[in-house]
Amino acid sequence: MRQTLTVLALLVAAVPAFAQSRSFTLGKWVEIQNSILKELNRSYVDTLPLNRIERLGIDAMLEGLDPYTVYVPEEEQENFQMMITGVYGGIGAVIFKPDVQGNVIINEPYAGSPAARGGLVCGDEIVEIDGTSTHGLTSSESSEKMRGKPGTTVVFKVKKLRDGETWKAGDVIEVPIVRERINMPAIEYVGMLDDGQTGYILQTKFTDGVSSAVRDGFLKLKSRGMKRLVLDLRGNGGGLLNEAVGIVSLFVPKGSVVVTQKGREESAELVHKTTTDPIDTTLPIIVLVDSGSASASEIVSGALQDLDRATIIGTRTYGKGLVQSIRPLPYNGQLKVTTAKYYTPSGRCVQAIDYSHRNEDGSVGHIPDSLTHEFKTLHGRTVRDGGGITPDFEVKGHRYSRLTYSLVMNGIIEQYALKFVRDHESIARPEDFHFTDYEDFVAFAKDKEFDYRSSAKTMFDEMKKTLEEDGLSETMTEELAALEKSLDIDKESFLRLKKDEIVPFIEEEVVIRYWFQEAGVQVRIRYDDQLREALTKPSISY
């Protein structure tokens, strides 16, 4: 009896000792950090940039945990809230500023936005914002001046691209616009595909209210005779958990488990079930995913897969199964901190096993089956964990050349679209528009500065550099020269070679300027081989 009491006493004593150890460690490092800062402040040779080094220290500390635990100071709250809600106060337009000394160019007003209703069109140049010249302002500084509290007025001086009722092209006129709450749409497109039976919803975010938007889109398509639905979550980086649960609720019985979250604290362990009656439990659904589909996208695709309610098609998803919670901090700051992990209805953890098995884009890389576990869907199909959601049918997307990526990333195609708008007052409707003057684009692009090397030439340049560093290049001078000559291709020739790959991007950027974002999606669908192949796959149905 005495021995038992002694063991119990030791166990009881161990708990506060462990807590004391953690508290001691925390206090030790806080004291060390404070001492270092005080000493630096007292004796460092230059004036100490306290704000900068403290922020760097906080960011570095949090980066050591995971990519999603971040500090948000007061001055960054507005942008942070916009990421969560998709809402900001402004005029609703994308701008382009070719250089600091130039004017701000209206690149793309949103459909129905204050900018569009105020008569601003693609190609108009903003000379002043509320009396401040745009010359000398950066693009972000110009954007900040355009944003503001909804209901307030911002006055622009605008150099008009085309003739109007009371002005001529080139005239500078005053345009007052009342700022509004601009809601960046999470649903970019709702429509029927060419077969007349397949509905298509393109969802790009999980912001507030998106589940209601999916519901409305689904009912609209069903009224038009939809026999199956494609929910496109490719490139959708996620967002609000409750909106993911809301979308799954539309298609599975009330009371179904959608996702479970488990964390260190008891309060972080929650089971999220559907709480509303579905609108349809039988219509075939295809969910398109890729390596850019993350977080809430993985909850939706994982739940619909585990419940055997949808066919998941594409490539394996990102592998981000971590739950973030918002915690208040002093001086109106916030900490977005990882507090739990997601688990699909079958019990799979969406989170990648570790951060070492990652592709260049951050998505989960190859995980051997020996490191994964089997789980069963509602009707007994085998699925595996290991990070992300593995589709029922793998259908890879188009692999674009390095040249095309360079044209897009350097804004060459976007700049050409602005030139096209200046040269053409109107175009055909999106379904009828086809870009035919490719030589005009070649003439435009060949004079722009961008890296047009092929992937092979890039690899050769790296290999040649390594050989030179190792002192081996001189022994194979002729061979290297011959190989380099065969890989060299001039800019114009390479642009012509990749015409079929580049034209769809030009068409999309051009139609957006005349017919807004939805028109761009219509063009994208026209060339979407991955979508077309997905439609040939059989449905998972029980």
Structure confidence at residue 100 (pLDDT): 78
State whether residue 426 is helix, strand or coil: coil
Cβ-based neighbours of 185, under 8 Å, separated by 6 or more: 86, 213, 517
User: What secondary structure, in 3-state letters, does 359-379 show?
Assistant: CCCCCECCCCHHHCCEEECCC
Residues near 117 by Cβ (< 8 Å), separated by ≥ 6? Answer: none
From-to residues of CATH 2.30.42.10 in the chain:
87-183
Overall average pLDDT of the 52-71 stretch: 90
Contact between residue 307 and residue 377 where contact means Cβ atoms under 8 Å apart: yes
85, two tokens = 């809600």
What are the tokens at 39?
A: 């000493």
Asked whether the predicted pLDDT for residue 84 surpasses 90, the reply is no
pLDDT at 8: 39
Q: How many CB atoms lie within 10 A of CB 347?
A: 13
Which residues of the chain form CATH 3.90.226.10? 187-326+337-396
Structure confidence by residue, pLDDT tens digits, 350-381: 887 655 556 766 676 667 777 788 999 999 99
347, containing H or E segment: none
- Condensed to tens digits (0 to 9), the pLDDT of residues 111-152 reads 999 999 999 999 999 999 999 999 999 998 999 999 999 999
Q: What are phi and psi of 496, to 5 degrees?
A: -70, -35
Give per-residue pLDDT as tens, 329-340: 999 999 999 988
Q: Containing H/E element for 23? A: helix 2-43
Strands 172-178, 153-159: pairing is antiparallel
**Which residues are bridge partners to 459 per DSSP?**
none
Closest C-alpha to 176, from 206, 148, 199, 217: 148
Helix, strand or coil, per DSSP, at residue 318: coil
User: Looking at residue 451, what is its pLDDT?
Assistant: 93
Q: What's the gap between Cα 34 and its chain centre?
A: 38
What per-residue confidence (pLDDT) applies to 542?
A: 65
CATH 3.40.50.1010 for domain 187-326+337-396, yes or no, is: no
Average pLDDT for 64-92 = 84
Whether residue 222 has pLDDT greater than 80: yes
What kind of fold does domain 87-183 have according to CATH? Answer: Pdz3 Domain (2.30.42)
Q: Is the pLDDT of residue 294 over 60?
A: yes
- The yes-or-no verdict on residue 56 having pLDDT over 70 is yes
How would you write 72-139 as a 3-class SS string? ECHHHHHHHHHHHHCEEEECCEEEECCCCCCCEEEEEECCCCHHHHCCCCCCCEEEEECCEECCCCCH
Query: What string of DSSP letters covers 32-71?
Result: HHHHHHHHHHHH-SS---HHHHHHHHHHHHHHTT-TT-EE
Query: Residue 322: which H helix or E strand, with range?
Result: strand 322-329
What's the average model confidence in pLDDT over 441-451?
96
| Active-site amino acid positions | 295, 306, 320
> Which of 182, 104, 163 lies closest to 138 in space, CA to CA?
104
pLDDT band, very low/low/confident/very high, at 10 (cuts 50, 70, 90): very low
Q: What share of the chain has pLDDT > 90, as a percent?
A: 69
CB-based contacts of 351-354 (< 8 A; 24+ apart in sequence): 351/319, 351/320, 351/321, 351/322, 351/387, 352/319, 352/320, 352/321, 352/386, 352/387, 352/388, 353/386, 353/387
CB atoms within 10 A of CB 220: 15
For the residues of 177-210, what is the DSSP string, one character each? EE-EEEE--SEEEEEE-TTSSEEEEEE--B-TTH
77 φ, ψ (degrees, to nearest 5): -65, -40
The DSSP line for 483-536 is: HHHHH---HHHHHHHTHHHHHHHHHHHHHHHHHHHHHHHHHHHHT-HHHHHHTT
pLDDT of residue 14: 47
